[in-house]
């Protein structure tokens, strides 16, 4: 996925809200585009709160970053898969506590490195900097710096994404999950 002439695509796919990190990502974008203009940010998913959506529109207009941001609305099926396949980096900077966001597993399966906040089990899921990199909660500057690091290191970005794909195949496929659940039930039954 390294192409020196292409725009890098940074993907955030979730319900769009402050709690899921959409506004933190938006605040990071002006910091990124001051250094790199070969990037676009795709925020996929429905807005959960009208006030967050209004804030986002006003912020984008005020910062003059509309040409770097694309909202897709909710995506499913082949459209969702195409977004993963055409992206370079996945960003999940949630503010709220998380369980196991399936979208992070989908990003790993697609071979995308993940920039995330250490909420719930995400550090365990992604390994210690193996498949992604944590950033502090509600820290747009730190998020921007980490995005810029990946953009400045495209070979490492690909390698970390490949490590995520490998980790997904080793631990998180449907077959691995069913096998682990059977093992838990067998241990409990003895």
Residue pLDDT, tens place only, 28-67: 999 999 999 999 999 999 999 999 999 999 999 999 999 9
pTM of the model: 0.90
Structure tokens at 164: 């995520």
> How many Å apart are CA 149 and CA 32, to the nearest integer?
10
pLDDT higher than threshold 80 for residue 2: no
Residue 177 is predicted with a pLDDT of 66
Residue 123 is predicted with a pLDDT of 87
Residue 122 is predicted with a pLDDT of 87
Residue 3 is predicted with a pLDDT of 52
How far from 1 is each of 4, 8, 104, 154, 174, CA to CA, in Å? Answer: 10, 9, 19, 9, 26
- Summarised one tens digit per residue, pLDDT across range 119-160 is 888 888 888 788 999 999 999 999 999 999 999 999 999 999
Residue 170: CA count within 13 A, CB half-sphere: 10
Residue 96 is predicted with a pLDDT of 84
> How many Å apart are CA 81 and CA 180, to the nearest integer?
26
For residue 118, with 0-12 CB atoms within 10 Å meaning exposed, 13-18 middle and 19 or more buried, which class applies?
middle
Structure tokens at 104: 């992070």
pLDDT higher than threshold 80 for residue 84: yes
């Amino acid at each position: 996925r390294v192409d020196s002439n292409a725009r890098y695509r940074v993907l955030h796919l979730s319900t769009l809200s402050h709690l899921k990190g959409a506004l933190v990502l938006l605040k990071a974008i002006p910091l990124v585009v001051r250094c790199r203009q070969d990037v676009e940010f795709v925020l996929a998913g429905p807005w959960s709160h009208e006030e967050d959506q209004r804030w986002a529109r006003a912020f984008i207009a005020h910062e003059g970053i509309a040409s770097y941001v694309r909202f897709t609305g909710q995506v499913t099926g082949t459209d969702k898969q195409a977004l993963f396949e055409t992206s370079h980096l996945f960003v999940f900077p949630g503010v709220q506590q998380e369980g196991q966001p399936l979208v992070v597993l989908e990003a790993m399966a697609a071979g995308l490195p993940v920039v995330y906040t250490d909420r719930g089990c995400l550090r365990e899921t992604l390994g210690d900097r193996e498949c992604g990199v944590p950033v502090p909660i509600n820290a747009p500057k730190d998020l921007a710096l980490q995005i810029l690091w990946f953009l400045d290191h495209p070979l490492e970005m690909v390698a970390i994404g490949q490590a995520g794909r490998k980790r997904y195949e080793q631990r998180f496929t449907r077959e691995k999950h069913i096998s682990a659940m059977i093992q838990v039930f067998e241990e409990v039954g003895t």
